[in-house]
Amino acid sequence: MTTLESPLQQEWTAWHRDREEQLSTPHGWLSLTALHWLDGTARAFDGIPGRWRATGDGGVELTADGDPDNGPALDGTPVTGTVRLEPLDGQPGVLVEIGERRVEVIRRTDDYALRVRDPQAITRTAFTGAPAFDVDGRWVVEGRFEAYPEPRQLTVGAVVDGVQHFPTAVGVVRFPLGGAEHELVAFPGKAGGLSLHFRDATSGSSTYGGGRSVALPDPDADGRVTIDFNRTVNLPCAFTAHATCPLPPAENRLPVAVEAGESTPPRPDLHP
């Protein structure tokens, strides 16, 4: 006898398939193989052509050496001599092409680094999907968004020691879960709406210890908003050692076990 999937399950299945496809793109988060921090000394890094240094005034210099046909390129044009790159703090970096690989030059506050994206990374080639809890309607709750009078810049740590992030909080979302009322600090979503970045009682056991996030639609005129914890996702740092993800604000810790959304993923780079 065939069991028909609920609309909630059908919609989640399509969403989750898109999520896994995005994760496994050739230069997506699963392709990271290295993270090299820069200082003011021009230096080479294993397997990466050229010499790289942070300039101290908001940029990074790349000096090409060797055969330009096998060296770094920008937008398909081989780099010759020295070029200046200016990544923005906290944003996706400047991509330098090296064959099928990409070296992403990133800025985190006043620190600069090279992040290598390789389609042949084991975290990508061994990827079989993002594990998740069973979809359940009890994890879909109605909340209420209360905006701050003015957005607030927070300071949070990162999965990398010594790195800080400065996200802008826009208010709090209050909602019922597990028989009690809770609230989480809310941030703007990358594609509109809101984002909740949190830890809960599963963090560090069945889910990634650095926290997870869930995207919310725009609240209605009365601040009402639907939270579907079935669509809670891991940040990139759950899949790779070479991300610089922010940690959730200290107040975004739920005392309940949110057994919904993505669970701890396998790490073929750590446990082949």
Whole-model pTM: value is 0.91
Distances (CA, A) of 157 to 122, 174, 208, 254: 28, 24, 16, 18
**Tokens at 270, concatenated:** 């750590």
Share of the chain above pLDDT 70, in %: 98
Contacts for 14-22: CB closer than 8 Å, 24+ residues apart: 15/231, 16/130, 16/132, 19/130, 19/233, 20/129, 20/130
Half-sphere exposure in the Cβ direction for 9 (13 Å, CA): 8
The DSSP code for 67 is -
pLDDT tens digits, one per residue of 61-74? 999 987 777 789 99
The domain limits of the chain are 29-125, 130-272
Instruction: Express each pLDDT in 203-251 by its tens digit.
Output: 999 999 999 999 999 999 999 999 999 999 999 999 999 999 999 999 9
Neighbours of 129 (CB within 10 A): 13
**137/2: higher pLDDT:** 137
pLDDT, one tens digit per residue, over 173-205 is 999 999 999 999 999 998 899 999 999 999 999
The pLDDT score that the predictor gives to residue 3 is: 61
Of residues 58 and 122, more confidently modeled: 122
Look at residue 2 and tell me whether its pLDDT is greater than 60: no
Give me the pLDDT at residue 1, please: 45
Does 164 score more than 50 pLDDT?
Answer: yes
- Residue 6 is predicted with a pLDDT of 92
Average per-residue pLDDT for the chain: 94
Q: What does the alpha-carbon distance between residue 76 and residue 198 come to, in Å, rounded to a whole number?
A: 40
Q: What is the mean pLDDT of residues 40-49?
A: 94
Strand pairing report for 156-157 and 180-188: unpaired
pLDDT at 272: 65
pLDDT, residue 70, reads: 78
Distance CA 207, CA 205 (A): 5
Q: Is the dihedral of CA 3, 7, 9, 12 positive or negative?
A: positive
